[in-house]
Amino acid sequence: MSYVKGLQEVGEGLYAYLQPDGSWGWSNAGLVVDGERTLLVDTLYDLALTREMLSAMRRAVPAAKQIDTLVNTHANGDHCYGNQLVEGARIVASERTAAEMSELPPAAMAALVEQAPGMGELGAFFLECFGAFDFKGIELALPEQTFAGGLDLRVGDRELRLIEVGPAHTRGDTLVHAPAERVLFTGDILFSHAHPIAWAGPVSNWIAACDRILAMDVETIVPGHGPIAGPDAVRELKAYFEYLYEQARERMAQGMTPLQAARAISLDRWADWGERERLVVNIANIYAELGETEPLNPLAAFQQMAELAGAR
């Protein structure tokens, strides 16, 4: 689905920064402004991209010269590896996100990308996903303020609510809600027009997160990846996960592995969503929840996604 790169106003004093095409690593971020007060929702995957975003924000909104608060919605690098450039900001995240952020240092990503050319099908897939980003020179700036469950913040006179709905995509996923403007920044709880990926799960908790969003009075949703959306996209995501549960139960009863199931499942209604290879991780996560197998560790997840992507 085509959409435009850059800053877009989504409500009074509320902005989305979008990075098409929204596939692996091409994340969105958000900006909340009231007078001179500013809050940034997430940074991007590398320093050059984050620098480009910050200067686009400053051009459109002079107050963005100084960001007061930075919220990281979750621990994946495409939402926090640019943190060090937001100088002087207080960094806020859920406790679980803060803990998870120190586990995959940017230097490890840099090393993986460097070794990828010698790693066969897995390396080729890894480069396809992450080869466009520069992980060198990143010193991950970690949150100073953490919370569990929820946290109310003010940006000038504007009220914001941080709502922790993880573990789902990662261990500590957080939504950023601007109730008065009916705008929600979801981080990677919503990928619009692409398959989600349940790194942490359980998927049932992700479905509960969808229900929580659907119970809110929200009109505009800034997803973690993909074009601006609304509650319908969350309804679609919930239906997708429910369909996967149904399919996983059936395929498990037939004795299929998650990879065999991911190959066999027909995606008719969701067939045009990007990153179909993530299906195997989601199915494995549901299998684990149904008590049959361990969830995939990240290396196994990438190996199986590489196999599935190779077959496409």
Pick the closer one to Zn ion by CB: 100 or 188: 188
Contacts of 215 (CB under 8 A, 6+ apart): none
Rule CB under 5 A: is residue 275 a binding residue for Zn ion? no
Pick the closer one to Zn ion by CB: 19 or 303: 19
Distances (CA, A) of 252 to 12, 201, 262, 294: 49, 18, 11, 14
**Least spacing, CB of residue 42 vs Zn ion, in Å:** 8
Candidates 24-32, 97-105, 171-179, 238-246 — which segment interacts with Zn ion by CB under 5 A?
24-32
Candidates 16-24, 26-34, 46-54, 266-274 — which segment interacts with Zn ion by CB under 5 A?
26-34
- What angle do helix axes 231-253 and 279-289 make, rounded to 10 degrees? 70
Pick the closer one to Zn ion by CB: 82 or 224: 224
Contacts of 189 (CB under 8 A, 6+ apart): 165, 168, 169, 173, 175, 206, 209, 210, 213, 224
Distance CA 222, CA 177 (A): 10
Candidates 42-50, 57-65, 185-193, 258-266 — which segment interacts with Zn ion by CB under 5 A?
185-193
Q: Of 19, 27, 83, 170, which one interacts with Zn ion (CB under 5 A)? A: 27
Using the 8-state DSSP alphabet, how is residue 289 labeled?
H
**Least spacing, CB of residue 196 vs Zn ion, in Å:** 10
**Least spacing, CB of residue 77 vs Zn ion, in Å:** 8
Conformational region of residue 305, where left means phi above 0, alpha means psi within -120 to 50, and beta covers everything else:
alpha
Rule CB under 5 A: is residue 78 a binding residue for Zn ion? yes
In the region spanning residues 85 to 114, those forming contacts with Zn ion, defined by CB under 5 A, are none
> Please, what sign has the CA dihedral across residues 191, 89, 9, 5?
negative
Distance CA 278, CA 295 (A): 13
Pick the closer one to Zn ion by CB: 27 or 304: 27
Question: How far separated are the first and last CA of the chain, in Å rounded?
Answer: 19
Contacts of 193 (CB under 8 A, 6+ apart): 1, 22, 226, 227, 272, 273, 274
**Least spacing, CB of residue 191 vs Zn ion, in Å:** 8
| Residues 288, 310 contacting (CB under 8 angstroms) | no
Rule CB under 5 A: is residue 34 a binding residue for Zn ion? no
**Least spacing, CB of residue 252 vs Zn ion, in Å:** 29
Q: Of 42, 100, 173, 188, which one interacts with Zn ion (CB under 5 A)? A: 188
Binding mask 211-250 for Zn ion (x = CB under 5 A): -------------x--------------------------
**Least spacing, CB of residue 133 vs Zn ion, in Å:** 12
Distance CA 267, CA 74 (A): 28
Pick the closer one to Zn ion by CB: 38 or 76: 76
Total interface residues for Zn ion by CB under 5 A: 5
**Least spacing, CB of residue 198 vs Zn ion, in Å:** 13
Q: Is 142 helix (H, G, I), strand (E, B) or coil?
A: coil
Pick the closer one to Zn ion by CB: 123 or 187: 187
Candidates 2-10, 71-79, 147-155, 246-254 — which segment interacts with Zn ion by CB under 5 A?
71-79
Using the 8-state DSSP alphabet, how is residue 296 labeled?
P
Using the 8-state DSSP alphabet, how is residue 227 labeled?
S
**Least spacing, CB of residue 27 vs Zn ion, in Å:** 4
Residues of this chain that interact with Zn ion (CB under 5 A) are 27, 76, 78, 188, 224
